[in-house]
Amino acid sequence: MSREVNFEKKIKRRALILGLSKTFFTFLVFGKLFYLQILQKSKYGKLSDTNRIKLKIVYPERGIIFDLYDKPIASNRIDYQLSIFKDKKNLVYDYVKKLRGHINFSEMDLELIKDNSNEQDLSDFITIKRNLSWNELEFFEFMKNKFPFLIITKEKVRNYENDLIFSHVLGYVGFKKNVTKKKLSNLKVGIAGIEKKLDSKLLGKDGWIKFETDSKGAVKKELNKKYAVPGGNIKTNLISEIQNKASEEMRGIRGAVVMINCQNGGVNCLYSSPSFNNNEFSDGVSLKKWNKLLADEFNPLLNRCIAGLYSPGSTYKLVTALHAIENQKFNKNKKFLCSGHVSFGNRKFHCWKKEGHGYVNLHEAIEKSCDCYFYNLAKTLKIDDLAKFSNLFSYGQRTGIDIPNELKGIMPDRKWKIKNRNEKWQKGETLNTVIGQGFMLSTPLQITLMTARIATGKKIIPTIITNKKEFENLNISNENLEFIKSSMFSVVNSSTGTAFNSKLPGNYKMAGKTGTSQVRRISLEEREDGVIKNEELNYKLRDHSIFTCFAPFDKPKYSLSVIAEHMGSGSKVAAPIAKRIMELALNKY
């Protein structure tokens, strides 16, 4: 019997062991649950959020750029874009294959996909197609369910009101290149022009949308979003109509048109011809197209207004004359005989007028643009003094215009010659310099600025972005300035002036100076055989036509320069263009 009792005890013991092991097991599970749900809650909470929440960056709208009269010249358009969920990027080519025929994937788009899929940025989505058309949108809306990992987003992208006319001054936007770690791979930044200069203001601040996706990456709903902050708007001094007029006038002509407001330095027109389509650039220009533009012999990418270098030609005579009477006590009534050439050393320096101007004084020399008068004047001038004085008119210096990549040109002096040519300055070179030839190179902006400064006697600084400033005086005597201005008046308004053809009709009076920028040096033999007429020359060797002017004469408002490459003398092409543009500006603004 005791065995039976013992057995019962044994059974009870074993039941107890079983119960205890169950309790132990329970505590094990309890412990793990406590660990997961209480101790590690935040870790797993975050993991569950990373699982389901996907981030889409919303790019900010760039600020709008306005012209002087609040007309938008750079704004934004709506762009519908197709994006794929990043985790599913291996599907992209399969999708492209399926969507082809309905949605047009160009070579550019495929390039974009390739670039973007290697991008490591914040966004959980990759843009695979931009600029969806309405048909494409409609198609996708209809087929959406078959492509659960694609989403359509509405983006605002840069759009220029006019493809061509503002391209150089506004610049364009594009992707930052050669940046290894990008936060926002699809953010476009200003690459050139105002877009580049004022990028930080125009850019704005990006936002985001958080989507909830399921385990397969299909978007379920929008959770929340932070709106992107649009960039600041910018008002410029540009006048659309003038810019437009300049582009019309310069059709088929290479060159530049620059107009500056003499009262506040505002740049009203900055047009370089030929131009390029900055909308195309902002949408992303293909390498092929880019190379084609680079190889273009007319160099459409060059902003000739600030980076095109030309000999100022006879327009520079204004500075020479002013220097002589202001600093050298030169008697402006002194007459020199122009017989068509001047001998200096063992060289002959020729006037543009082969038969000569006869006896002329300084006023007439400017009016008729007599070279010989200035050769004679040059004999008593020191190049270093002239160079220093020219700096006042920004020659050889950057004007400080508020767009990047401005060139300063060349204002030669003795130091420059030694440094750059490793030779001593030859006196004969001064003779070339005083008429704006030789080593001297300047930008159309510098020429315009010279005119503006002569017209006002103030150290005008050109600005594209609105900011009125008081300008300091040039400290040149009024009498001398008036003398130069009156000479310029005669250039346009006197029947013997070089630009008499371009006299303004009506009440407005314009003063100006023609110039011819020599592209080649005329050899002695050629002189003797008779100088070849421009029209007969190879196009590339023909002279540049330059005209710079200001108006109205009594109260200068606009200073304007036109440079027409290889179009011959200033009076023939540049001056009439300038006249028409000035006429429009004075009548309308």
Chain contacts with another protein (rule: CB under 8 A): 3-4, 7-8, 10-12, 14-15, 17-19, 22, 25-26, 28-30, 32-34, 36-38, 40-41, 43-45, 47-49, 51-52, 212-216, 220
**Backbone CA torsion sign across 433, 438, 439, 445:** positive
**Closer residue to another protein in complex, CB, 26/120:** 26
Residue with tokens 């097991």: 25
**Closer residue to another protein in complex, CB, 48/343:** 48
**Closer residue to another protein in complex, CB, 119/212:** 212
CA dihedral 458, 461, 462, 463 (to 10 degrees): -130
Nearest approach, Cβ of residue 3 and another protein (Å): 7
Query: What is the spatial distance between Cα 544 and Cα 311, in angstroms, rounded to a whole number?
Result: 9
Paired tokens of 234? 């910018």
* DSSP-assigned states of every residue in 507-522: S---EEEEEEE-SSPP
Query: What is the spatial distance between Cα 409 and Cα 34, in angstroms, rounded to a whole number?
Result: 77
Nearest approach, Cβ of residue 151 and another protein (Å): 16
Nearest approach, Cβ of residue 274 and another protein (Å): 56
Query: What is the spatial distance between Cα 58 and Cα 86, in angstroms, rounded to a whole number?
Result: 16
The percent of the chain in helix, strand and coil, each rounded to the nearest 5, is 40, 20, 40
Nearest approach, Cβ of residue 133 and another protein (Å): 33
Nearest approach, Cβ of residue 59 and another protein (Å): 27
**Closer residue to another protein in complex, CB, 216/469:** 216
**Closer residue to another protein in complex, CB, 7/142:** 7
Q: How far is CA 399 from CA 446, 456, 546, in A?
A: 7, 16, 19
The candidate with the shortest Cα–Cα distance to 210, out of 201, 197, 223, is: 223
The candidate with the shortest Cα–Cα distance to 316, out of 494, 456, 443, is: 443
**Closer residue to another protein in complex, CB, 21/477:** 21
Is-contact 81 59, C-beta < 8 A? no
Residue 343: half-sphere exposure toward Cβ, Cα within 13 Å: 2
Residue with tokens 């060289």: 347
Nearest approach, Cβ of residue 43 and another protein (Å): 7
**Closer residue to another protein in complex, CB, 145/507:** 145
The candidate with the shortest Cα–Cα distance to 359, out of 337, 376, 391, is: 337
Nearest approach, Cβ of residue 115 and another protein (Å): 26
Paired tokens of 242? 């003038």
**Closer residue to another protein in complex, CB, 24/134:** 24
* Backbone Cα Rg of the chain: 36
**Closer residue to another protein in complex, CB, 48/426:** 48
Nearest approach, Cβ of residue 18 and another protein (Å): 6
Query: What is the spatial distance between Cα 450 and Cα 548, in angstroms, rounded to a whole number?
Result: 9
**Closer residue to another protein in complex, CB, 35/69:** 35
Which of the 8 DSSP states describes residue 316? G
**Closer residue to another protein in complex, CB, 213/518:** 213
Q: For 141, phi and psi rounded to 5 degrees? A: -55, -35
Nearest approach, Cβ of residue 90 and another protein (Å): 13
Cis peptide preceding 274, ω within 30 of 0: yes
Nearest approach, Cβ of residue 207 and another protein (Å): 23
Nearest approach, Cβ of residue 84 and another protein (Å): 19
**Closer residue to another protein in complex, CB, 3/419:** 3
* DSSP-assigned states of every residue in 219-248: EEEEEEEEPPBPPPPEEBS--HHHHHHHHH
Cα 140 off chain centre by: 38
Query: What is the spatial distance between Cα 443 and Cα 501, in angstroms, rounded to a whole number?
Result: 25
Is-contact 562 273, C-beta < 8 A? no
Helix (H, G, I), strand (E, B) or coil at 367: helix
Nearest approach, Cβ of residue 306 and another protein (Å): 57
